[in-house]
Structures are given as C-alpha cells and as structure tokens.
Amino acid sequence: EAQVTQNPRYLITVTGKKLTVTCSQNMNHEYMSWYRQDPGLGLRQIYYSMNVEVTDKGDVPEGYKVSRKEKRNFPLILESPSPNQTSLYFCASSSSGRGNLGANVLTFGAGSRLTVL
C-alpha cells in the first residue's frame, strides 16, 4: 500500500530534550515536506525537500532541522524543543511531476502529536 509513515504518533517530552520524528514514504516520491497544524492557523510548512540532499525552509523553520540522505526518509529534528512547538505535525510527499510540482497531489502521513512540557 502506498503510504507515508510517521513515528511516533504521540509523544510527550520536556523542554530541551532533543527528539526526532521520522517520516518514510514508499512511493519513490522526490518531494517531501513537513507541516505543523495549529488551531485557527491551519497547516504551515516547516521545511521541504525537492530531492536527496536538497532541502529548503518553509514558513516556520525556526527551531527545526531536517535532513534528506535517502529518497524515502525525511526526519524532522527538534534539537531543543520548547512549549511553543507543541503541535500536530504532518509529513507529506509527492512526485515532482516533470518539474511542475505545484500541480501535484500530496500524500500525507497520519500525523504526530507532540507535547512539550
């Protein structure tokens, strides 16, 4: 089954304790992205990657890091989490569609709910 898999689904942590949320897709997609969802703010893009070793900032990258060493994986790293990073996080992927990326449908993971105390 074609899917985007995120882990963990739920996590409670404390301020300053480094954590990684993993994301893996099995569709050979070039494009991957991380979003956070907050009430009243919708989805905001954190980072995205056009392909292996190519990443770029989205709208709210502060406090986050990413890497894209393999095509299928795109982990989100919080080096020193703070309470304002408490949120629901989604990873998504799509094909690059002959370069016309904006026209392609995103496949989303089920989400990772993070609480930082």
Partner 1 sequence: AQSVAQPEDQVNVAEGNPLTVKCTYSVSGNPYLFWYVQYPNRGLQFLLKYITGDNLVKGSYGFEAEFNKSQTSFHLKKPSALVSDSALYFCAVSGYGNNRLAFGKGNQVVVIP
55 pairs with which residues across the strands?
49
20 pairs with which residues across the strands?
77
Decide if 36 contacts 88 (C-beta within 8 A): yes
* Footprint (CB under 8 A) of partner 1, residues 42-101: 42-45, 48, 50, 56, 58, 90, 92, 99-101
Between 45 and 86, CB nearer to partner 1: 45
Q: How far is Cα 63 from Cα 82, in angstroms, rounded to an integer?
A: 8
The stretch among 17-25, 41-49, 64-72, 79-87 that binds partner 1 (CB under 8 A) is 41-49
The stretch among 18-26, 61-69, 75-83, 109-117 that binds partner 1 (CB under 8 A) is 109-117
CB atoms within 10 A of CB 87: 21
According to the binding rule CB under 8 A, does residue 40 interact with partner 1?
yes
The stretch among 13-21, 67-75, 77-85, 105-113 that binds partner 1 (CB under 8 A) is 105-113
Could you tell me which residues come within 8 angstroms of residue 89 by beta carbon, excluding any fewer than 6 positions away? 6, 21, 34, 35, 36, 37, 46, 76, 111, 112, 113, 114
* Chain residues that interact with partner 1, rule: CB under 8 A: 4, 31, 35, 40-45, 48, 50, 56, 58, 90, 92, 99-103, 105-111
